[in-house]
Structure 1
């Protein structure tokens, strides 16, 4: 009887083995992987094969590279973002922060928001969302949200100029008011519509959110409606490794 030849170790089999160790907890979030030379000796392969196996794990977002060539198991602390409760009912906006920041503090984390204001002309998509003519002026409040000092969300809120003109919506900085700015200026949101798309990030989003390779994002679009129609559209880009999206619905 012929003895079967030993199975050849490939980049995929190395990735499979390390992935299994990560999922089992043998390699924990934040752990440094063995060096390429150590892995090559362990698996009996070349450095090139090891590198190809590690690249597979980087593409999956399980491993990140660091300066000096070391690799770590990705460590992240996701936030639970309850989109049913977010901005619903009695908002917790105050001079200390908005409804989002209040939820982050409730979770024992430290929120911060960096906000700038810009004027843009509505393209076809914005025209459809806000029900304004293409080319009409809209006010955009662009914010980078961080949690414990790490970028967690890019969020851009757009308002028709006829609603924003002469209000704090045109002021730079992280401004919040009891009940929310829209309610304070006489245009409260009475209902919202959510649209969620899962996709890969743009290069700009990857840079701003400091995303490791292979990290998908959720694009959350929330259109707020008042008595006269849409009063705001908010587009939030949320990294997939830092969020758990929650909805609670009555059935």
Structure 2
């Protein structure tokens, strides 16, 4: 009688087994994975096959590598970003922080925003959002938003120079005012339009947000309109492992 050969354990099978352990809580967020040698002995394969299996989990964003060769189950505390309430109605801006920072503090976390300001010509996309001619001078405020000292968002707000000139929008610091800066300088947002795209980050976004390989991001574009047209175009890059986006709509 011919015996059936034993099924060879593959990198995919190793990834499936470890993924199941992560999803069922056997391996918890922050846990260090067994070493390659330990996993090789457990599955009866070479360390190279184990490495290929773990690479699959890294590409899925479930596992991250650390210095010293350790691999750890990715952990994080997502924030709930309610985009229905964000910047809407009675804003929570004050001298202590803008609407976003106030919401983070209300959740018991510690926010910070690191701001740089750039003045230059609008590219075609920004010009389209702001309804100005391509090449028109615009002011861009780039904010790296952190929560508990970890990068959580990269937000770039573009303003026509006619609105920003001579205002705190040109100040390279975290500026906040009651009701929001635009309302304070006489250009309140009366309505907004949101666009959300889910995609993989570019290298600069990965570096600035300290993203593990395989982490997708949400690109949230919010166009703010005043009485005579757009007053701001804000693009926020939000890592998928650190956010839960919420909308509340009447139907």
* TM-score interval (norm. to shorter): over 0.9
Partner of 1:184: 184
Distance in 2, Cα, partners of 1:5 & 1:105: 60
Distance in 2, Cα, partners of 1:2 & 1:249: 65
Partner of 2:44: 44
Distance in 2, Cα, partners of 1:177 & 1:2: 81
Distance in 2, Cα, partners of 1:170 & 1:118: 8
Q: Which is worse superposed, 114-123 or 147-156?
A: 114-123
Partner of 1:154: 154
Total equivalences in the alignment: 251
Distance in 2, Cα, partners of 1:248 & 1:120: 37
Question: SS of the residue aligned with 1:155?
Answer: strand
Structure-2-length-normalised TM-score: 0.99
Distance in 1, Cα, partners of 2:73 & 2:218: 22
Question: SS of the residue aligned with 1:56?
Answer: helix
Partner of 1:118: 118
Give the CA RMSD over aligned residues. 0.7
Structure-1-length-normalised TM-score: 0.99
Distance in 1, Cα, partners of 2:188 & 2:17: 54
Could you list the per-position Cα deviations for residues 90-125 of structure 1 after superposition, in whole angstroms to 9, with x for gaps in the alignment?
000001000000100111000000011110211111
Distance in 2, Cα, partners of 1:167 & 1:3: 82
Distance in 1, Cα, partners of 2:194 & 2:2: 63
Distance in 1, Cα, partners of 2:9 & 2:120: 55
Which 4+ runs in 1 deviate beyond 4 A? none
Alignment of 1:139-150 (within 5 A): 139-150=139-150
Distance in 2, Cα, partners of 1:116 & 1:12: 44
- Displacement of 1:24 in angstroms is 0.2
Question: SS of the residue aligned with 2:113?
Answer: strand
Alignment of 1:6-85 (within 5 A): 6-85=6-85
Distance in 2, Cα, partners of 1:117 & 1:236: 16
Partner of 2:242: 242
- Displacement of 1:2 in angstroms is 4.8
Unaligned runs of 5+ in 2: none
Distance in 1, Cα, partners of 2:76 & 2:194: 26
